[in-house]
Amino acid sequence: MSQLYTNLAKVYHEIYQKLFDYDQEFKFYDKHLKENDVRSVLEIGCGTGNLAKRLINAKFDYFGVDLFQEMLDIAATNAHKEYFLQADVRSMKLDKTFDCVIITGRSISYLTENKGIIEALKCINNSLKMNGLLLFDAIDAEKMFLDFKEIRTDKLEVEFGQNKYKRVSKSKKNLSSGWTWDWESIYYQMNDYGIYEKIGEDFSTLRAFIKDELTLFLRMCGFELISILPKKSYAWEDNFYIVRKVAYDF
In a shared domain, residues 155 and 133: no
Q: The domain spanning residue 189 has which CATH number?
A: 2.20.130
Is a pLDDT exceeding 60 seen at residue 221? Answer: yes
| pLDDT, mean of residues 79-88 | 93
In a domain, 153, yes or no: yes
Is a pLDDT exceeding 60 seen at residue 1? Answer: no
Q: At what angle do helices 50-57 and 69-78 cross, to 10 degrees?
A: 40
pLDDT at position 148 is: 87
In a shared domain, residues 217 and 201: no
In a domain, 78, yes or no: yes
Q: The domain spanning residue 225 has which CATH number?
A: 3.40.50.150
- pLDDT above 70 covers a percentage of the chain that reads 97
Domain containing 240: what range?
9-139+209-245
In a shared domain, residues 93 and 70: yes
pLDDT at position 234 is: 59
In a shared domain, residues 54 and 176: no
In a shared domain, residues 20 and 84: yes
**Could you report the per-residue pLDDT of 119-141, keeping only the tens digit for each?**
999 999 999 999 999 999 999 99
**Could you report the per-residue pLDDT of 136-153, keeping only the tens digit for each?**
999 999 988 988 888 889
Is a pLDDT exceeding 80 seen at residue 207? Answer: yes
pLDDT at position 230 is: 86
Buried b / exposed e over 197-218, threshold 16 CB at 10 Å, is eeeeebebbbbbbbeeebbebb
Number of domains in the chain: 2
In a domain, 224, yes or no: yes
In a shared domain, residues 54 and 156: no
